[in-house]
Structure 1
Amino acid sequence: MSVSATPHPVAQPGVPLRVLSYNVHGQRDDTAALATVVREAAPDVVIVQEGPRRFRWREKSAALAESFGLVVAAGGLPSLGNLVLTSLRVRVTATRCRRFPLTPGRHLRGAAYADCRVGASARFTVAGSHLSTDPAERPGQAELFKRDLTAAPHPVIAAADLNEEPGGPAWRTVADGLTDAAVAADRTDRLTYSCADPRRRIDALFVDARIVVVDYDVVDTPLTRRASDHFPVLVDLLLPAAA
């Protein structure tokens, strides 16, 4: 997949949407490279993990979105660093946030949701989360995330840093009934973590069966290796026009 700002590929009738899922590592790496990576990808939606979640989080979230050429749709502190950012092509009609129960001694985790529309009739729900590194804690968080996905009013696009590889219990819970974009594109060999030593696919993007996966890539370039400790996942989709 090219990351240049070219027209989105269209393989069959539908409404095109380009989505980027990115754990930005708390913006602790090369932020100029990070902004360039996202701008060159030209996404309609960016689902961020490890975004601003503390002091002045609104201002910092807006600045991050502006550096990408996007606007904040949902998330931030209420979802504990998960953000949904959109281009002006996407209309956001409703937002929600969730905090997962705190396990003493562990980091707080959560999820962000945005109901969106492109054009007159292509409606979808974007969801983003970042599950725990604790294997005992992850399955319960996955259950709560999945409950929200099941209750979403529109076809779902769900992205997360699952901190777990395919086949694990939390991964299976979130993936149930959805299409793994990497599987649909036959790109499961594209690893997402870490940029310094890629060994694992722990960042995933799942879509409702009514949404077509046109293309999928894990963007591994000199810039992405400087921008974060995770590679971004870039996916081109076709939304059903009457969803």
Structure 2
Amino acid sequence: MSATISVLSYNLKDYGKSAVATRRQQHELLRFERPDVLCLHEIWDDGDDLSTLDRHVAAIAEAAGMAGMAVPARRSHCHMAILWRPDFTALSQRSHRLPLWHGLGVVQLDVGAAVPLRVAVTHLAPWDPEHRLADARTITGLLDDPGQATVIAGDWNTFGADPTYDPEPDWSALPARKVWRHVRWSDDPDTPPRADRRPTELLHRCGLHDAAAHLRAPWQPTGGHMGTDLSRRLDAIWTTRPQALGGYRVIDTPVTRLLSDHLPIRIDLDPAMLGPTFAGVPAGSAQDTP
């Protein structure tokens, strides 16, 4: 059994429409990082049969030396994938569409620990706070089993539940017409904008823990560095096993800032702590309440 299990989440920014040189550099980054589990977002394929998606995922898996599955997102054509070390056994694989804006992929992996690790990947709606909340309701409903050791990696397109960790952004940095895509709606247009944190608050109330906030890692944005969006933490990994968290890192380098409008993030898990309880503390207990 590995001393730690690393999970990396990365929005590739339209992989497939991007330049071949960009894709090759992303492959090199993944080979350098060598994650045990990899969750990817925005793999482009607008064809009906999704054959291009399969080819893209196969190319990434070959470059990274991993096995994997594609997670279709037919509504947006920005698909997802989950990849894992070839010596891990996939006990089950499932893709969900339902009313989700992009989708949800779930793989249960035998990682050599006492219990399997359930890994999920998702991507919430980009423009509609109400749809993001609906997405979060569906995701927490589908994954409502605190008895399972679960990690969910996502491009959440929202804000962290805890405003003391994820500060209110500078709304003046956005054109006024775009602000309402991110804040709670008010019929009074003069209402001061406030970030809509309901999707992440729902995740928290359902017994999930935001790795960065739980570990109180130094706050870093994962988007906004290309100047087309707010500087904010769009990407996060949540888990039902906060006691297993051993580290969190934003991979922020001059190269990653050029390769995508999202920076990759990475967590480390202690597989010995993936069981239902640790040191008498029930998994899912609120130790990092906002």
Could you say which TM-score interval applies, normalised by the shorter chain? 0.7 to 0.9
Shift of 1:191: 0.9
Closer, same or farther: CA 166–241 of 1 in aligned 2, 3 Å:
closer
Structure 2 distance, partners of 1:50, 1:153, is: 30
Q: Which residue of 1 aligns with 2:233?
A: 201
8 Å CA contact 1:125–1:153 kept in 2: the answer is: no
Q: Taking structure 1 as reference, are residues 218 and 81 closer, same or farther at Cα in structure 2, changes over 3 Å only?
A: same
Aligned residue among 91, 94, 104 for 1:93: 91
Provide Cα deviations, 1:70-102, integer angstroms capped at 9, x if missing partner. Answer: 221352457961211111132111011111427
- Dislocated runs of 4+, deviation >4 Å: 77-80
8 Å Cα contact 2:72-2:103 kept in structure 1: no
* 1:184 pairs with 2:182: no
Report which stretch shifted further, 120-129 or 164-173: 120-129
| 2:112 is aligned with 1:113 | no
Give the superposed CA RMSD: 2.5
Q: Distance in 2 between matches of 1:125 and 1:211?
A: 16
Closer/same/farther in 2, CA of residues 202 and 100 from structure 1, 3 Å limit = farther
Listed as ranges, the gaps of 5+ residues in structure 2 are: 162-196, 276-290
Cα deviation for residue 53 of structure 1 reads 4.3
TM-aligned CA deviation for residue 32 of structure 1: 1.8
Aligned mate of 1:227, from 246, 259, 271: 259
Q: Secondary structure at 1:83's aligned position in 2?
A: strand
Cα distance in 2 for residues equivalent to 1:77 and 1:135 = 19
1:91–1:110: structure 2 CA closer, same or farther, 3 Å change rule? same
Tell me how far apart the structure 2 counterparts of residues 174 and 82 of structure 1 sit (CA, whole Å).
20
Q: Secondary structure at the match of 2:4?
A: strand
* Structure of greater Rg: 2
Write the mapping of 1:72-221 to structure 2, written as runs, cut at 5 A. 72-76=68-72, 81-101=79-99, 108-119=101-112, 121-133=114-126, 134-151=128-145, 154-167=148-161, 168-176=197-205, 177-187=207-217, 189-197=219-227, 199-209=231-241, 211-221=243-253
1:33 maps to 25
Q: Is the 8 A contact 1:54 1:77 kept in 2?
A: no
Distance 1:19 1:90, change over 3 A: same
C-alpha displacement of 1:241: 6.3
Please tell me whether residue 67 in structure 1 is matched to residue 97 in structure 2: no
Distance (whole Å) between structure 2 residues aligned to residue 14 and residue 35 of structure 1: 23
Identity between Structure 1 and Structure 2 (%): 27
Closer/same/farther in 2, CA of residues 92 and 235 from structure 1, 3 Å limit: same
Q: How many residue pairs align between the two structures? A: 226
TM (normalized to structure 1)? 0.83
Structure scoring higher RCO (CA < 8 A, sep ≥ 6) equals 1
Q: CA 1:187/1:164 → structure 2, altered by over 3 Å: closer, same or farther?
A: same
CA apart distance, 1:175: 3.1
Q: Distance in 2 between matches of 1:146 and 1:173?
A: 8
**TM-aligned CA distance change 1:188 to 1:171, over 3 Å:** farther
The one-letter code sitting in structure 1 at the alignment partner of 2:157 is N
The structural deviation recorded for 1:64 is 1.9
Aligned residue in 2 for 1:44 = 36
Residues 45 and 84 of structure 1 are in contact (CA less than 8 Å); yes or no, is this contact kept in structure 2?
A: yes
